[in-house]
Amino acid sequence: MVPSISLRVNSAISVPIVGHQIPASATGNVREPFTIVAGSNDQLVVNINNGPDQTLTATPGSNITAKSLAEDLTAKVSGGRFLVTKKRQVRLETRQKGKSARIFVQSGSTMAALLGLPTSRAWLGRQPYPGWTVVNDPNTLEDRPARLIVFDEPLKGTQDFVEIDYTTIRQECRRCGGLGVENDWRYTKSGNVIEVRDEALLIQEALKMIFTIQGSNPFHSWYGTGILNVVGKKQGASGTGLLQSIVVADIQEGFRRWRTIKKQQEEVVGQILSDEEFPFRLLNSTLEQSQQDPTIVFVNVTVQSRSEKPIQLTRGVRVPEPTDLLGATAQQGVFRQSLSEFTQTG
């Protein structure tokens, strides 16, 4: 059950079941370039996660960039890494996350002043949002219990907004009421219509394009794919590979038509599309049978936007009986619920 659930806070922070954890980090306040002289300001003595002290000796040189220095020190440190901030400063960060993560810069660090790092001070990791557990609601039927998400600790923020993605069967869907179709609007606390943009819009449009049955829209009969019908067709053991090929080809063709329309929006209509919302390339598409429920097949698709960021999309399709998997004559949709999905686009 838990692998099919994802939780977000304030529409931005993903909180896994162990909680959202942040590493310890120490950022210098001096910008590049740096000049390092051997035996003068080339050593940084740090203690990470209460382990043994580490003496890091940087390579001498002049006009050293923050990136070069960070790469040099990262190769020499254990349990941490050096990064570069937007202001071209150097930041030390632990690889471990959470409250047990710790950084301490010793007073004997000759490089500390060069980087702008204070000495004899500890930086600690944090856990802003606690872990959570899924429990059955004792006030519901045992054979079909409602499930509750319980945080291990109270949330510290009084204005935090929690969103949940989960998988359920159509009959139990609270968003569409079992219809499998949803066209309602979403509003902010101030009453404004929520508009999906950039990567969230790309995800929404990709899911709609893939799982809309082609021909179901009489005004745009070209839109969608036929994979929901294909998965429901009877296939023998030797037909599984053929089924994969048909589904992949159908998704590729649907993606090609969708991408053509987006190009026309830019070139013909003159609509401005961000790089994050433009479907640039279909990287991968596969079928995968669920290990927990033999009546569910997951459709996995990886789409790359024009910003070159790959996005993994997954949705399950249920067939009626376990013995008919990949060979049933009909199917039901298993919808991965998302508060951004089916929201009015901007």
71 alpha carbon, distance to own chain's centre: 27
For residue 176, is it within any domain?
A: no
For residue 87, is it within any domain?
A: yes
Which CATH number is 85's domain given? 2.60.40
Q: Residue 68 has what pLDDT?
A: 96
Q: Last residue of some domain: 141, 160, 179?
A: 160
Which CATH number is 285's domain given? 3.10.450.40
CB atoms within 10 A of CB 306: 16
How far apart, in whole angstroms, are the C-alpha atoms of residue 272 and residue 282? 22
For residue 62, is it within any domain?
A: yes
Tokens of 228: 């929901």
Domain of 147 in residue numbering reads as: 2-17+130-160
For residue 182, is it within any domain?
A: no
The reply to whether 293 and 269 lie within a common domain is yes
pLDDT per residue over 264-286, tens digit each? 888 888 888 888 888 888 988 88
Residues 6+ apart with CB under 8 A from 35: 61, 62, 63, 64
For residue 188, is it within any domain?
A: no
2 alpha carbon, distance to own chain's centre: 16
Number of structural domains found in the chain:
3
The reply to whether 272 and 207 lie within a common domain is yes
For residue 177, is it within any domain?
A: no
The pTM for the full model equals 0.52
The reply to whether 87 and 231 lie within a common domain is no
52 alpha carbon, distance to own chain's centre: 35
The reply to whether 147 and 207 lie within a common domain is no
For residue 345, is it within any domain?
A: no
Continuous segment of H or E residues that includes residue 114: helix 112-115
The reply to whether 222 and 324 lie within a common domain is yes
Q: Which amino acid is at 183?
A: N
How far apart, in whole angstroms, are the C-alpha atoms of residue 35 and residue 295? 64
For residue 190, is it within any domain?
A: no
Q: Residue 104 has what pLDDT?
A: 97
Residues 6+ apart with CB under 8 A from 282: 251, 252, 255, 301, 302, 303, 304
The reply to whether 155 and 8 lie within a common domain is yes
The reply to whether 141 and 11 lie within a common domain is yes
Q: Last residue of some domain: 160, 180, 213?
A: 160
| Beta-bridge partners for 27 | 91
How far apart, in whole angstroms, are the C-alpha atoms of residue 129 and residue 13? 9
Q: Which residue ranges in the chain fall short of pLDDT 50?
A: 234, 236-238, 321-346
Question: Under DSSP, is residue 200 helix (H, G, I), strand (E, B) or coil?
Answer: helix
The reply to whether 206 and 262 lie within a common domain is yes
The reply to whether 139 and 121 lie within a common domain is no
Contact between 102 and 121 under an 8 Å Cβ cutoff? The reply is: no
pLDDT per residue over 227-237, tens digit each? 877 765 545 44
The reply to whether 155 and 267 lie within a common domain is no
The reply to whether 214 and 314 lie within a common domain is yes
Continuous segment of H or E residues that includes residue 209: helix 198-211
The reply to whether 6 and 146 lie within a common domain is yes
Strand 13-14 with 6-9, pairing = antiparallel
Tokens of 109: 């660090």
- Strand spans (E) along 159-295: 162-169, 279-289
Continuous segment of H or E residues that includes residue 300: strand 296-305
Contact between 314 and 302 under an 8 Å Cβ cutoff? The reply is: no
| Beta-bridge partners for 285 | 301
Q: Residue 97 has what pLDDT?
A: 94
